[in-house]
Structure 1
Amino acid sequence: MSMQAIRDRLGTVRGQDLSDEALAQETVALAEDILRVAQMNQKDKEKVQAEKIAGMIEDPNGKALTIALCDQAFRSHKPARIADQIQYLVKSYGMPRYMKQWEQVALGLAGVIGQVIPQVVVPPFVQRLRHETEAVILPGEEEPLQAYLKKRRDARISLILNQLGEAILGEGEAERRQQAYLDLLAREDVESISIKISSIFSQINLISFDHTVELIKEQLRLLYRTAMAHQYRHPDGRETDKFINLDMEEYRDLHLTVDAFCQVLDEPEFLAYYGGLVLQAYLPDSYEIQKSLTEWSLKRMERGGAPIKIRLVKGANLAMEKAEASLHGWAQAPYDSKPQVDANFKRMITYACHPDRAKAVHFGIASHNLFEIAYGLLLRSVHQIEPYITFEMLEGMANHQ
């Protein structure tokens, strides 16, 4: 099995009118082919990481401890305080079963001996934690970041950078985060960034919806102007505006983000700007919003405007949405079951892969599920819309795929 065999399979369906049954069969077969090729290219280090993640999934307490460690071990700069927290977490959750024996010993020593000589024991432990996350968290320091961006550029892989950190607590922090995004856009080696409105504006008020949208639009205008002022030179010599993708987590941000996005890009100053946003398939609202965005983009292009891009994700905030709904006694915003989410994901891919729509709304399928990827690849080939449909994955999660 090789990449050429996958290309050949896609070539045989190109321009063909497949029935739903035939499309389903081809999707399964293509996913199998992709998996075989990916496994052939998987490095030893990636195999070890995959085995560790698989073990963690089967160890709920170990998973909870790992999340707590990553969340809390970096908060303090005092080794004694970190050692105390490690000991507390191990007592609370127990020793992770998925860890190797030497890792369990190291974790226990960090908590116990760290109480006596924290300056000696804790720094290597924290460094090890950082090492475990370096595949998915890029360095922020200038030299290593610059080297990494160059490495990916040379490999013809586009990166969308996302600043770590979730919702901010005040306008001072919002201004600092906004400046960090502006600094990224000004870099010659950065092509695209992803932002959340909750990270650049702290005073979100759904009761005052229109007023909140107006304030968000002010922030977006500044970002879009900066993106248009700093062109990105592609390896083939083309120059384009920097790309900004509007991300979101909480359901409350969905309609605010969509309204602000459309209203700003409808303004004459930004009519030619190619912008994007995320839709989450686990929200029932997303399909109808996708359709309305497509109709809006088609009309915008008739006025001489640029197309837009939608990135489709499953949604990663289910636990918080469930908790919030439970606390307030209302129905949760996301679907209740995974089959509903998966069905909506495929429905949205199917809608996006119509040739006329795809020209107005470029589509990024963000998934590590090979069946979803295979389904998207087949529809893209069937409708001959390869330039408009792309695939996105999280850095370091499954690089062999």
Structure 2
Amino acid sequence: MDNKAEILAIDDTPANLRVVADVLSPAGYTVATVTNGDRAIKRLQNYIPDLILLDIQMPGMDGFETCRKIKENPHTANIPIIFLTALSDDKSISKGFDLGAVDYITKPFREVEMLARVKTHLQLRNFMAQLEQQVQQRTADLTQALEKLRSSQMQLVQQEKMATLGNLVAGVAHEINNPLGFIGGNLSMLQECLVDLTEIVKGYRQAYPEPSPQLAEAIQEVDLDFLLEDIPKNIASMEKGVKRIANISTSLRTFSRTDTEVKTEFHLHEGLDSTLLILKYRLKANDKRPAIEIVKNYGDIPEIKCYPGQINQVFMNILANAIDALEEKTKSKTFQEIEKNNNCITLSTEISTDKKDIIVRIMDNGMGMPLSVQEKIFEQGFTTKEVGKGTGLGMAIACDIVTEKHGGKITCSSELGQGTEFVISLPFHE
């Protein structure tokens, strides 16, 4: 309420201060008084009134100087000041307004005028305070809405990207399975037939130990004993190849898992391995560098309840960035220099000491990052890559998936010239 406001009166004449208090106090205002500018400045260090009535003509620090110092202080700058003075010339009035005063009351003042002006400026102050609060609230609401919109856009872009990749991978895995089943089935049948044929050949050789000259020559040309020994080995080798392709197909399906609305049991090692399989083509040697070495220090960890597709997405973003960092390192070193300290990505998993989290560490020995980059690495839109090669969404989405979707933590530590390590902590229940 305006009539419960606190007012500071500054005047070098005690009689004037008594008159001000006699007028304002009955109206419900709390009036504090000081007799000069210096005391007023000191009083304002611990006391912030709602309005100040300030005399201009005072010994020492006059009203104009007192007003200037009040307005220079950010803690008191917004307090409305009404000059209470006998000076009514245009120059004095103009100077007062230039210094930040809101109004003048000319001495000798009329009681009704003072009450009206004080009430008006207190109402204006309250209105401005309410308006500022509303603006701040609206700004906060708009900022929050903008962040939600950006987050939604970011997730939609990445979800679409991962959905496309997942569909492609799932489709490839499905297409592999059809001929793979055909080959595997025929190999089993071929092996059974070969066993039967081998027994028949052995029976013929026992029944007819002395073949005709033409047959003996044919047996020698094809080296029958070698064939009987080598063909089973070839079939066994092909069976291993079929199993290898089947494992690849399984890994592809693991990576492209479509998340359900609820978390499902998932082993993080499967996610890491399937992601490495997708990126295997980028790990191979080329004319500029040897193959990127993958070191696995997997611990004995249990399955966790999570969204597997989203966790694989996190692994994909981090591992792809690690490979990018090693590729960047290649630009400044020769093939021979890299061979001496081979490009390497190390994957480690363990259970935290308090048995509450599974910790995944992904470390590369690339060029590393300065502290200024580390501080922004999880910000949406931030990227160090060239135009067209990075969206600035990958690590922001990884952070959102780990922290918001799974209640975990993700941190980054790096040292220039040494490499970078990402540490992911995901909660689990034994």
TM-score range with shorter-chain normalisation? under 0.3
Larger radius of gyration: 2
Using CA pairs below 8 Å that are at least 6 residues apart, which structure has the higher relative contact order?
A: 1
Give the TM-score taking structure 2 as reference length: 0.23
Greater strand proportion:
2
Give the TM-score taking structure 1 as reference length: 0.24
